Structures are given as C-alpha cells and as structure tokens.
Homo-oligomer: A and B are copies of this chain.
Amino acid sequence: MSGARLVGVLGGMGPAATVDFYGKLVEETPATCDQGHVPVVIWGDPRVPDRSLSLVGDGEDPTPYLRRGIEGLKRAGCQVLAVPCNTAHAFVPRLADEAGLELASIIEVTADALAADGVRAAGVLATSGTLRAGLYAEALRRRGVAAIEPGEPDQRRVMAAIGAVKSGAAGPAHRRALEEVSRALADRGAERVVAACTEIVLALDGSRVPVPVVDPARLLARRVAELALG
C-alpha cells in the first residue's frame, strides 16, 4: 500500500457527518489489515462559518477558513481532496484548483451515479444554501436529470432537522419530517431521494421512504477509496 495516494478530508462541517464519512470510507475499502486502508489526513475544523447562511446572504463568508484547511492538507502532502459537506461545494472546487488538489466532488459523484442508474427525476433534500447555489440542480441538468426540490414550508422542516443533527438533538419528530418531505418528493415524480446534506442521512430512515434514498457520503467514500488505492 505504499503506492496509495494520501487523501485530504476537509471535514468538521459538521463533525458527526465527518465521523460518518470516515466510517464509510473504512467500510468501502477492501482491506484485510490496517496497512491496506486509505491513508487520510482529516482537517476537522468545525469553526468554519455556516456555509448555508452565507449562501442565502445572511452570514460570514467561509472561504478563508476553507482555504486555510485546504492549504493545510496540501502542506501535509495530500494529493486528493474530499469534502463531506455538500453545501461547501459552492466554494470548494475553485479552492481545490488554486491548491492543485484533485477534488472528488460529492455532487458530481452523486450526479454520475443517478445518471448511470437511468434516473430521470431526483428529489433533493439539502440545505437552503445548496439549493440556492443550484449545486445539484445544475449537475443533474447537465446529465438530463430533473431536480425536484421541496416547497418553502417543507424546506423549513428540512433545515430544522439538519440543525437538530448538528446540535445532537435529532428526535423522532425530525425523522418523521424528513420522511414526510421525502414522500412528497416521490409523489411529485422523484424516482430517488438524494440525502444531499451529510447530516440528513444521520436522521433519515431510508426504509420508510417509498423510493430509494441515495447517500452521497457513501458514494464519495467509494470514489475516494478507488482514487487512493487505484
């Protein structure tokens, strides 16, 4: 495994989602001993200002924090960059280019998987910032997949559930809200529901949604293992 490429993970946004992603990376790596796993450096700085608030015009620009993390990962010798925060992808591709790191984009990996499955319409559960920035809408449109987004009252319920996961207080009511919003997306023609915020998958039980729930964090983990181990 000395030929493995060092992967930089810009995480901490939020921390529980980064733990979840790291666990999936270990699961998705076909290793039989420690030494067969992907070498990673995780920059877990949870102090990055809220990405979604910034994108809806209400908060501090997270760019300097994200740039500092990416530069730290570059200095550590990382060659591949993964960011288990969908919303951060409104900022990250440009910063990865600046640093000369190969970005495994959670958005592109997910859009690729939906297109490969022949999906024509996908529901998107995401932060308001991700929706406002059009991250999934644009990536899906380029592949001929329609993005179906929750209406305003449902989007408020999604944001409440994400906030609850971040505060460690997600309960049955939040889970139910995510299920109901997912069902509404399926009723409007979504063939898949994309859990397009890494917190959502921590609170949404896919078995209670009538269409398959797609987990971008797992797709990213699989892609990162491939990129690192070849």
Contacts and interface: CB of A to CB of B under 8 A. Distances in A.
Contact of A34 (B12, B29, B33, B169): B12
A42 interface: yes
Contacts of A13: 34
B34 A40 contact: no
Contacts of A25: 15
A42 B39 contact: no
Contacts of A4: 47
A206 interface: no
Contacts of A38: 15, 46
Each complex incorporates copies of this chain amounting to 2
Place the interface of chain A in its size category: 35 or more
A88 B161 CA distance: 40
B15 A47 contact: no
Contact of A15 (B37, B44, B46): B37
Interface stretch (A16-24, A148-156, A185-193, A212-220): A16-24
Given A39-B47, A42-B42, A34 B18 contact: no
Contacts of A23: 16, 19, 23
Contacts of A43: 41, 76
Given A16-B26, A19-B23, A44 B41 contact: yes
Contacts of A50: 34-35
A45 interface: yes
Contact of A72 (B29, B36, B76): B76
A207 interface: no
Interface of A: 1-2, 4, 12-16, 18-19, 22-23, 25-27, 29, 31-50, 72, 75-77, 163, 166-169
Closest 3 CB pairs of A and B: A37-B46, A42-B42, A14-B34
Given A19-B23, A35-B46, A35-B47, 16 more contacts: A2-B47, A12-B34, A15-B34, A16-B23, A19-B26, A23-B23, A31-B46, A31-B168, A32-B167, A32-B168, A34-B50, A39-B44, A40-B44, A41-B41, A42-B44, A76-B76
